[in-house]
């Protein structure tokens, strides 16, 4: 899966890339996604949590990929 981080959120790459000049690419290849500023998403395995825990999604980015990992957070008295 390809996408990019926009305002701190992961945005999935579209199935068609539209250009300002009116041109477009349907079903882009991996290379075309990369050439147009999208990066591959690498997701770690989602940990199992207990009843008093929740998961926080953590996105980190380097030059070639976006990594999605999870932090376990403890819920105490109904709050995180």
**In the chain, where the domains are located:** 2-74
Query: Given this model, what pLDDT does residue 77 score?
Result: 79
17 Cβ neighbours under 8 A, 6+ residues apart: 24, 25, 28, 32, 33, 36
Strand partners, 63: none
Name the token pair of 20: 């300002």
Query: Given this model, what pLDDT does residue 65 score?
Result: 98
Name the token pair of 68: 């999605």
Over residues 2-60, the pLDDT tens digits come to 999 999 999 999 999 998 898 999 999 999 999 999 999 999 999 999 999 999 999 99
Query: Given this model, what pLDDT does residue 50 score?
Result: 92
């Amino acid at each position: 899966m390809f996408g990019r981080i926009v305002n701190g959120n992961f945005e999935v790459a579209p199935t068609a890339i539209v250009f300002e000049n009116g041109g477009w690419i349907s079903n882009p290849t991996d290379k075309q996604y990369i050439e147009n500023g999208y990066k591959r998403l690498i997701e770690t395995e989602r940990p199992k949590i207990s009843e008093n825990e929740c998961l926080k999604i953590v996105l980190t980015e380097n030059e070639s990929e976006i990594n999605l990992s999870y932090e376990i957070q403890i819920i105490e008295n109904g709050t995180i």
